[in-house]
Amino acid sequence: MYDRGKVKRLMEQEKKEYFKFCPFCGADLAQRAFHFCPFCGQKLILSEVGNEPENQQVTAESRPVETVEDIVRYYDEFIREKRQLGLPEEQIRIEAGELVQTLKRRLNIHITTVAKKKFSPAVNEHPAQDSEFENYSLILKACSRRESLARRLEKRLLRSYFAIQLALDRIPGIIIYKARVDTMPALIKAFKAEKAAITVVGGQLEVNCSAAEMIPDFRELSPFLQELMQAAPANLWLGDSFYLVVEAIHKAFQCRGALAVSDQALYFVYRQTAAGPVCWTVISYYRVAATSRSRNESPAALTVRYRDTDELDAMLFDSYGDLDRLYPVLEKAINAGGYRWFIKRSCGNCGDVAREEVDTAYAGEGCLVCGKRLERRLIDKKQ
């Protein structure tokens, strides 16, 4: 005969509930059947860490938020759940707005934490010769036409207008993460049409982007330059290889700041007032028509002329030496190709292979020779 009482106790002992999110580190437990958190090692059986009501809601503070997509997903879930409860729309909108603000603060904390981690290899190392990438990420550094850019991206991305606006509010930030190369030509055209400053990273996107590690000879810069560079958002440096930083004055802004030359753009970081927030402007090389320098006037000046407008940008220098050091480095970076990526398309059926600039790359899915589906890879034209 079975001891019915013992069987019942064993059944109750084995009937365990599990957390959806780790209460210790906030990790998303997708499988929802862990005895221990795979990220921090803590026990996750509810009966062993304290009682929790069966239908208890996970608070916004405990939700893991790593990307804007997480915010959008939680927002949609929140709206759906509240409507199922029959709450008034006005109350739902108010509570949903508070939830979004809380989650955005969580996202800020996550990005600050991730940016401090150290990865290898460093982002400013160029990939080996003939390296090819199956996917790419895109970082938006600056854009003065966000509204029209959001409208363009809404047509290209599988995201809502709300999600795109959230992403653009976080400039500089990662807008495209590890997407297929097939999507690249159309998206690049959309960003360029709105004169956006962008950086493309092929393959794995590293986040080791502190100014001290990204800028060559950083410790040899003046305290003024070091402080400005470190105070700027970490994502501003993400993806570029920086060559030189000097002190300069933006003629139009009448502000002194740090002028940095990278492989993809010319950065000017400054403060409008001594105690004000850090601001920046980014001149992507694809927009530059010509540069010139003036050494016969005081102060020495660098002038940048744009392709798509009659406007000019002028930088003034206290020292002719700083201008003489910067100018050849800038010219070399521009001539090497401010937009450095090519797309290689190949057909596994007929063997047709082509290499094209991103701006003019063929965007169709089928091979131009046999019509079969194409494969695309991203390559660096400077290799």
In this predicted model, what pLDDT tens digit does every residue of 203-245 receive, in sequence order? 877 776 788 888 888 899 999 999 999 999 989 998 888 999 9
Query: What residue has token string 């320098």?
Result: 293
Whether the predicted pLDDT of 46 surpasses 60:
no
Whether the predicted pLDDT of 64 surpasses 80:
no
Instruction: Give dist(CA 249, CA 282) in Å, integer.
Output: 15
CA 159 to chain centre: 16
Report whether 124 contacts 241 (CB < 8 A). yes
Band (pLDDT 50/70/90 cuts) for residue 89 is confident
Band (pLDDT 50/70/90 cuts) for residue 112 is very low
Report whether 343 contacts 376 (CB < 8 A). yes
pTM of the prediction? 0.64
Band (pLDDT 50/70/90 cuts) for residue 342 is confident
Between residues 20 and 173, the one the model is more confident about:
173
Strands (DSSP E) found in the chain: 132-133, 135-142, 173-180, 197-202, 242-250, 255-262, 265-271, 278-284, 288-294, 300-306, 312-317, 341-346, 353-357, 375-380
Between residues 165 and 281, the one the model is more confident about:
281
Domain extents in the chain = 15-115, 132-202, 211-337, 341-380
Nearest CA to 205 out of 183, 177, 185 is that of 177
Q: Which two tokens stand for residue 320?
A: 């002719």
Candidate ranges 17-31, 62-76, 253-267; pick with highest mean pLDDT: 253-267
CATH number for 211-337: choose from 3.40.630.10, 1.10.10.10, 3.55.50.30, 2.30.29.30: 2.30.29.30
* Fold of the CATH domain 132-202: Ribosomal Protein L30; Chain: A, (3.30.1390)
Whether the predicted pLDDT of 59 surpasses 70:
no
Q: Which two tokens stand for residue 274?
A: 């001594």
